[in-house]
């Protein structure tokens, strides 16, 4: 009598060897069957499954592996056994542990293509989003009663007031560095007095507003993207649309308006603090008294430099706020998207600020504000 999961070796008249299995071919009743087949049978021509009962994937894998290794024919399998044998045979194909490395040129070309596609898609989306912001702004101008002044004032606090400390410290240190490095280089020509010109014009015209915009992009632009992204993920924005509230009017415009208004103030404040830092170092290292330093600042810094900074600042603020809000509104699927879109908001905001700063430098030189 055959025990469950056992087999009988039979010889046909033509000399073919048949293994006839009986009982259940399952992991529970198999015991040492694989070892006995491997050690006790050297040649197999057919595997007979007419008398088996229950078969699971482990039993099917044993039959499939035995047939593959001995090139034996499987006979007598019922529909369930055939299905399991086909299933384990489908996953038994050999595969490389490490895939072949892609062609370096094709990989670089593919990466460049993907980056170009993403850049063009993002630019088109930003332009479209900016257009919707402008349309919402005109709508609010026609109906000023819909402006959410409380939200705007709250963004004033977040974007401007709470940034005074970090922006002031950064600007003060930048002023120190500009004065110190300028003094070292100008000392070679006996022109240390022109350190005042360097500090005044560079901070008031360029670095004050530019560094403030970069700081706001990293601080407030990322916050805008994270806030709107979380609201998008929790379907709060969809709920606002359902009850007839425009997310652009309620969420985006207060942030954009706050950034446009606060960035010129922060930029001017940063420039003044940077000049104070440069004046302190000039007093300590160059023996230029503060009264002389600030009197010289008034002489060498033209009013057009102040205008240049004040013109660039609101544009930088609008770009940073629109970029952050746009990336936040693009969040979909899962929480990982919030982090990815927040990072994209910071990177794109800083990139656009630098590109616009280069454009403004050429433009103001062209109109004679140099």
Q: Quick check: 94 pLDDT over 80?
A: no
User: What is the tens place of the pLDDT at every residue in 281-316?
Assistant: 999 988 889 999 999 999 999 999 999 999 999 999
Q: Which stretches does DSSP call E strand in the chain?
A: 6-11, 17-25, 46-55, 73-75
Phi/psi of residue 301, nearest 5 degrees: -95, 110
Q: Quick check: 66 pLDDT over 60?
A: yes
CATH architecture classification, 6-90: 2-Layer Sandwich (3.30)
User: What is the tens place of the pLDDT at every residue in 17-36?
Assistant: 777 777 777 777 666 677 77
Q: What is the pLDDT of residue 42?
A: 62
Q: How confident is the model at residue 341 (pLDDT cuts 50, 70, 90)?
A: very high
Query: Distance (Å, rounded) from C-alpha 247 to C-alpha 240?
Result: 7
The arithmetic mean of pLDDT across residues 58-84, rounded, is: 79
Query: Distance (Å, rounded) from C-alpha 201 to C-alpha 274?
Result: 11
**Whether the Cβ atoms of residue 297 and residue 196 lie closer than 8 Å to each other:** yes
Please state whether beta strands 46-55 and 17-25 pair in parallel, antiparallel, or not at all (unpaired).
Answer: parallel
Query: Distance (Å, rounded) from C-alpha 281 to C-alpha 178?
Result: 10
Per-domain residue ranges of the chain = 6-90, 148-366
Residue 153 CA, chain-centre distance (Å), reads 30
Cα angle at 125 between 107 and 109, to 5 degrees? 10
- What is the dihedral angle through the alpha carbons of 353, 358, 362, 368, rounded to the nearest 10 degrees? 60
Q: Quick check: 12 pLDDT over 80?
A: no
Query: Distance (Å, rounded) from C-alpha 111 to C-alpha 51?
Result: 58
Q: Quick check: 126 pLDDT over 90?
A: yes
pTM: 0.73
DSSP 186: H
Residue 99 CA, chain-centre distance (Å), reads 27
Query: Distance (Å, rounded) from C-alpha 245 to C-alpha 238?
Result: 10
Q: Quick check: 13 pLDDT over 80?
A: no
Distances (CA, A) of 280 to 9, 32, 191: 100, 87, 18
Q: What is the mean pLDDT of the chain?
A: 86
Q: Give the chain's length.
A: 370
Query: Distance (Å, rounded) from C-alpha 151 to C-alpha 37?
Result: 78
Query: Distance (Å, rounded) from C-alpha 288 to C-alpha 186?
Result: 15
The arithmetic mean of pLDDT across residues 234-240, rounded, is: 91
User: What is the tens place of the pLDDT at every residue in 170-215?
Assistant: 999 999 999 999 999 988 888 888 999 999 999 998 999 999 999 9
**Whether the Cβ atoms of residue 290 and residue 304 lie closer than 8 Å to each other:** no
Query: Distance (Å, rounded) from C-alpha 279 to C-alpha 173?
Result: 12
Kind plus residue range of the DSSP H or E element containing 229: helix 222-233
**Whether the Cβ atoms of residue 316 and residue 209 lie closer than 8 Å to each other:** yes
CA torsion sign for 311, 317, 322, 324 is positive
Radius of gyration of the chain (CA): 37
């Amino acid at each position: 009598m055959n025990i469950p999961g056992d087999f009988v070796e039979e010889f046909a008249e033509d000399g073919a060897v048949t293994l006839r299995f009986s009982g259940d071919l399952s992991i529970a009743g198999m015991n040492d069957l694989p070892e006995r087949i491997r050690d006790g049978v050297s040649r197999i021509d057919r595997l007979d499954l007419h008398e088996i009962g229950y078969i699971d994937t482990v039993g099917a894998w044993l039959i499939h592996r035995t047939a593959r290794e001995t090139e034996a024919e499987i006979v007598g399998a019922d529909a369930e056994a055939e299905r399991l044998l086909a299933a384990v045979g489908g996953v038994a194909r050999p595969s490389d542990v490490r895939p072949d490395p892609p062609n370096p040129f094709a990989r670089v070309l593919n990466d460049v293509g993907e980056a170009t596609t993403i850049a063009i898609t993002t630019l088109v989306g930003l332009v479209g989003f900016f257009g919707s912001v402008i349309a919402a702004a005109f709508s609010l101008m026609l109906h000023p009663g819909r402006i959410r002044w409380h939200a705007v004032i709250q963004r004033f606090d977040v974007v401007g007031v709470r940034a005074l400390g970090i922006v002031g410290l950064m600007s003060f240190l930048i002023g120190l560095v500009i004065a110190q490095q300028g003094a070292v280089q100008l000392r070679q020509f006996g022109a240390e007095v022109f350190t005042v010109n360097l500090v005044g014009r560079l901070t008031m015209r360029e670095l004050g507003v530019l560094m403030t915009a970069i700081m706001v992009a990293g601080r407030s632009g990322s916050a805008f993207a994270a806030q709107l992204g979380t609201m998008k993920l929790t379907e709060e924005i969809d709920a606002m649309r359902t009850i007839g509230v425009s997310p652009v009017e309620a969420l985006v415009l207060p942030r954009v308006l706050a950034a446009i208004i606060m960035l010129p103030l922060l930029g001017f404040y940063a420039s003044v603090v940077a000049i104070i830092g440069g004046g302190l170092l000039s007093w300590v290292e160059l023996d230029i008294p503060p009264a002389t330093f600030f009197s010289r600042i008034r002489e060498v810094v033209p009013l057009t430099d102040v205008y240049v900074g004040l013109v660039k600042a609101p544009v930088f603020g609008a770009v940073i706020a629109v970029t952050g809000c746009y990336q936040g509104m693009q969040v979909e699927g899962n929480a990982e998207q919030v982090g990815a879109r927040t990072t994209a908001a910071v990177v794109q905001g800083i990139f656009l600020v630098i590109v616009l700063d280069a454009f403004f430098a050429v433009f103001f030189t062209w109109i004679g504000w140099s």
